[in-house]
Amino acid sequence: MSHPQESRPYGYGPAYPRAYPPPEPWQARGYERDPYDTYRPSYESHGAYGAYGAPEAYGGHLPYGVRIPAQAPPSEPRGRFGPPVPPVSPVYPDPAESADPADPTGAPEPPRTAGGRAAARRAAHGRRAARRPEALRRLLPQALVVACLAGGTSAFVAGEKAVKLTVEGRPRTLHTFADDVAELLADEGVRVGEHDAVSPAPGEELAHGDRVTVRYGRPLTLTLDGRPQRVWTTAPTVAEALRRLGVRPEGAYLSVPGDRRIGRGGLALTVRSERSVTVLADGRERTVRTNAATVGEALAEAGVELRGQDTASVPLESFPHDGQTVTVLRITDTEQVREEAIPFATVRRADPTLFTGTEVVAQAGRPGVRRITYELRTVNGVRQRPRHVGTVVVRAPRPQVVRVGTRPLPPSVRGADGLDWDALARCESGGRPDAVDPTGTHGGLYQFDARTWRSLGGRGRPQDAPPAEQTYRAKKLYVQKGTSPWPVCGRKLHR
> What is the Cβ-side half-sphere exposure of residue 376, based on CA atoms within 13 angstroms?
9
Residues of the chain with CATH 3.10.20.30: 161-215, 218-272
Q: Kindly write down the DSSP assignment for every residue of 49-115, as one continuous string.
A: -TTT--GGGGTT--SSSPPPPS---TTSPP-SSSSPPPP----PPPHHHHS-TT-TT-PPPPPPBTT
What does the pLDDT read at residue 17?
A: 43
Burial of 387 (0-12, 13-18, 19+ CB in 10 A): exposed
What angle (nearest 5°) sits at the alpha carbon of residue 477, between those of residues 410 and 402?
A: 55
In 3D, which of 93, 63, 81 has the Cα closest to residue 2?
81
Q: 161-215 in CATH: which number?
A: 3.10.20.30
Cα separation, 86 vs 119, in Å, equals 43
123 contact partners, CB below 8 Å, separation of at least 6: 110, 113
- 82, 68 Cβ separation under 8 angstroms: no
What does the pLDDT read at residue 319?
A: 92
Burial of 3 (0-12, 13-18, 19+ CB in 10 A): middle
Q: Long-range pairs for 101-110 at CB < 8 Å and ≥24 separation?
A: 101/131, 101/133, 102/127, 102/131
Q: 275-329 in CATH: which number?
A: 3.10.20.90
- 141, 79 Cβ separation under 8 angstroms: no
In 3D, which of 310, 279, 276, 307 has the Cα closest to residue 291?
276
Residues of the chain with CATH 3.10.20.90: 275-329
Amino acid present at 124: A
What does the pLDDT read at residue 38?
A: 52
What angle (nearest 5°) sits at the alpha carbon of residue 482, between those of residues 478 and 485?
A: 80
Crossing angle of helices 35-44 and 143-157, in 10° steps, is 50
Give strand pairing partners of 383. 378
What does the pLDDT read at residue 6?
A: 39
Residuewise pLDDT in 10s, the chain (495 residues): 334 443 334 333 444 344 444 444 555 556 555 555 554 544 444 444 443 444 444 444 444 444 444 444 444 444 444 444 444 434 334 433 333 433 333 334 334 444 556 566 666 556 655 554 443 444 444 444 444 445 544 444 457 889 999 998 889 999 999 899 999 999 889 998 888 999 999 889 999 999 999 999 999 999 998 889 999 999 889 999 999 888 888 888 998 998 999 988 889 999 998 999 999 998 899 999 999 999 999 999 999 999 888 999 999 999 999 999 999 999 998 999 999 999 999 999 998 887 777 788 899 999 999 999 999 999 988 888 999 999 999 999 999 999 888 888 766 677 788 889 999 999 999 999 999 999 989 999 999 999 999 998 888 899 988 888 888 889 989 988 888 999 999 888 887
pTM: 0.41
What does the pLDDT read at residue 5?
A: 41
Instruction: State yes or no: cis peptide before 200, omega within 30 of 0.
Output: yes
Check the CA dihedral 229-234-236-241 and report its sign. negative
CATH for 334-403, options being 3.40.50.720, 2.20.230.10, 2.60.120.10, 3.40.30.10: 2.20.230.10
Amino acid present at 249: P
Residue count (the chain): 495
Element (H, E) at 145: helix 143-157
Residues of the chain with CATH 1.10.530.10: 409-494
Crossing angle of helices 467-481 and 421-429, in 10° steps, is 100
Cα separation, 429 vs 443, in Å, equals 8
What angle (nearest 5°) sits at the alpha carbon of residue 131, between those of residues 130 and 137?
A: 85
Cα separation, 472 vs 413, in Å, equals 8
Record: fold of 409-494: Lysozyme (1.10.530)
Record: fold of 218-272: Ubiquitin-like (UB roll) (3.10.20)
Residues of the chain with CATH 2.20.230.10: 334-403
470 contact partners, CB below 8 Å, separation of at least 6: 433, 444, 445, 446, 448, 462
Amino acid present at 207: A
Q: Is 370 left (phi over 0), alpha (psi -120 to 50) or beta?
A: beta
